[in-house]
Structure 1
Amino acid sequence: MPPDKDDVVLGGVAMDMLAQADDTLLLSLSARGLQLWCLSHFIVVNRLKTVIMVYGLSPSSVVPEFTVGEAPIHLSTSERYVGVTFQSQNNEGSEAARYSGHCIMGLQDKTGRQTPTQVKLLYNARVDCYLTHACEIMPDAMDTYVEPLIDVQKRFWHRVLRLGRRSMITPLHSETDVIPLRPRRFLILLGYLKYLLSKDGDKYARAALENSRSLAVMGKSSWFKDVNIAGSRLKFGLEPIPLDVSDPETIDDYRKILTEIGDSRKLYLLHDRKEPKKGKAPGPVALKMRIYLEVTTPKHRDALVSIVLSTHNLAVERLRRTTPATERENILCRMCMADVETPEHILFRCIGNENSDEELGADEENARVTAKYCYRALKNVYKIPMYRP
């Protein structure tokens, strides 16, 4: 097409029109440029199927009026072109993800509660797709858009594991092999950046990247600058991505999770935990669907989860939050009054709890037996009011 001063130019490549069969998308930096292009090319359009979208208007701007002949064209804020939705912002992802999550929970009312492994299959198919939609072209530079999505992910897995609001966030990911949403979205974003860097300079996608990098060098807002802002919000100590970006796969996405588990007093039962590895010596694994979550009896699984993640109602956890704080040596077992009421005391040492000792195992059969034992032990303890010094 003949050049126009209002053409959109990215990386030295003019982009005034995109066409897919008879579906046409016209681009211009001004109302005059767009109307002139249509006029000079004698374009014939279907007025009912033609819309105008305007981006970058300030609150005081006067919205221009477009016409086909004398008939005005509708001004739209959201349209789909060749399967891609164009709109200035996306606030629908969190609502769609939340609705899908509620449907999964509602399904269990009909089928009975599923194991976390089974729920994760549904989560990946029906929830995760909304949580990560378009994250490669919209970096998480603003918390306003990503925080509602993070909230959906946290609430969903809280319900799956039956954890309370006071429980820590890290086990939602370390115990289920579900990557936290910010790092997951950033990983997808880096994969897209790597794809763009692999393209030749004459490709539209690479031209857009080069234009974005040029704007970032000048300190102006751009997609490339938003990538670095999104990376800085991960709190991994990630250095800004240089213009000659290196291999994105070298980012250590799990460091935060390993560090948080190692420093937590509440999660002391997870410290130094080792997982079997095929052909290797057992070692720590940051993200993994843990074997104990495969227990099929829901109440047994809930009891074991409450002990491992310290969300139980034993005195050592309940009285930890009282004001004034209760000294640990005064938090006595309600059944024997001889030692501190901790999970390990209740399960293995309490003389007032009529349960045989069972050792926590790493295989699925031991996990089932242990979960049943934990359930019975906690059930016996919860029958007696908690001792308060």
Structure 2
Amino acid sequence: KDYKYVGMLFNSTTRDVFRAHYELKRKTTAFVFWKTILGCDHYVGRGHLPPEVGRQLYYALIDCHLTHGCDLAIDVDETSFGLLNGLNCVILRRILGVGKRSGIPQLYSELGIYPLRVRRALLALRYLGYLVAQPESHLARKALFEADHLRSNGHSSWFGDIAIVLRDLPFATPTLPPLADLTVALCEELQDRLKRSMKEWIVSSIEGMVSVPLLHGRLEPKEDGNPQRIALCQRHYL
């Protein structure tokens, strides 16, 4: 049986206690996508919805469902996360008007949208910074201390799951230190380093694709100054 607590569905009898929450958010995201982006696309004519408008609809109506509860449900189960990530790629491809076989890194580069795994990890790190800032008498801080204790003894925990997510990203990321060495400033630094590594990964991935030579080394024009190489932004021609 599924239970709900402060908006989070969980079931202690399944391998991933939050699987029901992932399934619910995928269903909700698909419904909102069908009612908004697909609806507008059908209204103006298939393929005629400007990507800029689709991006605005994505951030206004889709992103909130894809990231709901990501500060608690850490993406260590590939099957659960795949429910959201697969749908997210479908949505981004539809916004850009490209086929289902198109590469994934350029979806993020063209629209200026973070990869979902990175986006959710950043929000989890931000929440971790909030917990670190709390006094030791705070109930949530005590829970964090217990999670750190479990991690240090080789057991599964929320704190350890964040470390696993950072370790398993497709690019080099800093290791999450023990709670005793963690500060709010360090949590913010981890977020900044994660963003930089992600952008470098997107650029290197696109540069390594022979199918998109026009995207290799391209420069983005600036209103003031010379064109610059930008890894992630909404492109001026969209």
Task: Work out whether 1:163 is the aligned partner of 2:119.
Answer: no
Q: Percent identity?
A: 31
Structure 2 residue matching 1:175: 3-state secondary structure: helix
Letter in 1 for 2:138: K
Paired with 1:86 and 1:151, the residues of 2 have a C-alpha distance of 21
8 Å CA contact 1:97–1:130 kept in 2: the answer is yes
**What corresponds to 1:248 in structure 2?**
190
Structure 2 residue matching 1:79: 3-state secondary structure: strand
* Equivalenced residues, count: 216
**What corresponds to 1:260 in structure 2?**
205
Structure 1 residue matching 2:95: 3-state secondary structure: helix
**What corresponds to 2:15 in structure 1?**
none
Question: Aligned-pair distance for 1:199?
Answer: 1.1
Structure 2 residue matching 1:159: 3-state secondary structure: helix
For 1:1-389, list aligned pairs within 5 A: 77-80=2-5, 83-88=6-11, 89=18, 90=21, 91-104=23-36, 105-112=38-45, 113-243=48-178, 244-245=181-182, 246=186, 247-251=189-193, 252=196, 253-277=198-222, 281-293=226-238
RMSD between aligned alpha carbons?
1.7
TM-score of the pair, normalised by structure 2: 0.84
**Is there any run of 5+ residues in structure 1 with no aligned partner, and where?**
1-75, 294-389
Instruction: Kindly name which structure, 1 or 2, has the bigger radius of gyration based on alpha carbons.
Output: 1
Paired with 2:174 and 2:76, the residues of 1 have a C-alpha distance of 15
**Is there any run of 5+ residues in structure 2 with no aligned partner, and where?**
12-17
Paired with 1:208 and 1:92, the residues of 2 have a C-alpha distance of 27
Question: Aligned-pair distance for 1:166?
Answer: 2.1
Question: Aligned-pair distance for 1:278?
Answer: 6.0
Instruction: Kindly provide the CA deviation profile for residues 135-157 of structure 1, in whole angstroms up to 9, marking residues without a partner as x.
Output: 11111111111111111111012
Question: Aligned-pair distance for 1:274?
Answer: 1.3
**What corresponds to 1:370 in structure 2?**
none
8 Å CA contact 1:191–1:248 kept in 2: the answer is no
Larger relative contact order (Cα-Cα within 8 Å, sequence gap ≥ 6): 2
8 Å CA contact 1:136–1:185 kept in 2: the answer is yes
Note closer, same or farther for the CA distance 1:265–1:85 as it changes in structure 2 (3 Å cut): closer
**What corresponds to 1:320 in structure 2?**
none
Instruction: Kindly provide the CA deviation profile for residues 324-350 of structure 1, in whole angstroms up to 9, marking residues without a partner as x.
Output: xxxxxxxxxxxxxxxxxxxxxxxxxxx
8 Å CA contact 1:94–1:149 kept in 2: the answer is yes
8 Å CA contact 2:55–2:95 kept in 1: the answer is no
Note closer, same or farther for the CA distance 1:187–1:278 as it changes in structure 2 (3 Å cut): farther
8 Å CA contact 1:94–1:148 kept in 2: the answer is yes
TM-score of the pair, normalised by structure 1: 0.53
Structure 1 residue matching 2:71: 3-state secondary structure: coil
Question: Aligned-pair distance for 1:110?
Answer: 2.5
Structure 1 residue matching 2:170: 3-state secondary structure: coil
